[in-house]
């Protein structure tokens, strides 16, 4: 079903764009879920902006003695992920159908994998001053993060397929 208008089938007059959720925006009433989602998108963009500021300045602040200067080798990829997340969340403020969110989440997860792998390669941490095996724990967490992001890609591909099928999209070109 699409927005309570009944099933969308091949004989319906709705365009593919309409079935995919690309319609004129309707004003949201205060307190509706869309308003809450928009607040969440704005908050996510702001928090990622704050993280971007931290990434750009953390070495200058000298607040993390275990962080080495090689952190700068990982920052371009980290910055790319943060900027992409900011842009995507700002886009969601205006356009957030399920299929679009799935596509963007797949892209963001791919970028996150790239950044996490880069951090693993550079490993800008020096835990030699600590008795606890922080290096092993940190490397394990980075591996778990990559696996989690890969799983999220699979989940979002399934969500995308479901969203497109519910919208009446079929990759079969025959009518």
What tokens appear for 38 in the block?
A: 């928009």
Domains of the chain: which residue ranges? 33-166
pLDDT for the residue 6: 47
Segments of the chain scoring below 70 in pLDDT:
1-32, 171-175
Residue 165 CB contacts under 8 Å (≥ 6 apart), including other chains? none
pLDDT, position 15:
53
């Amino acid at each position: 079903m699409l927005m309570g208008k009944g099933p969308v089938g091949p004989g319906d007059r709705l365009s593919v764009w309409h079935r995919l959720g690309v319609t004129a925006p309707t004003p949201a009433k205060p307190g509706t879920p869309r308003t809450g989602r928009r607040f969440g998108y704005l908050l996510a963009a702001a928090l990622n902006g704050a993280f971007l500021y931290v990434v750009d300045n953390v070495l200058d602040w000298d607040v993390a003695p275990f962080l080495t200067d090689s952190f700068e080798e990982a920052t371009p990829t980290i910055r790319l992920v943060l900027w992409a997340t900011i842009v995507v969340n700002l886009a969601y403020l205006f356009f957030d159908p399920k299929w679009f969110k799935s596509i963007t989440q797949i892209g963001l997860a791919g970028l996150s994998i790239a950044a996490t792998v880069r951090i693993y390669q550079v490993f800008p941490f020096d835990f030699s001053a600590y008795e606890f095996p922080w290096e092993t724990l940190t490397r394990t967490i980075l591996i778990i993060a990559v696996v989690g992001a890969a799983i999220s890609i699979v989940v979002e591909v399934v969500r995308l397929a479901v969203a497109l099928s519910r919208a009446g999209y079929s990759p079969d070109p025959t009518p």
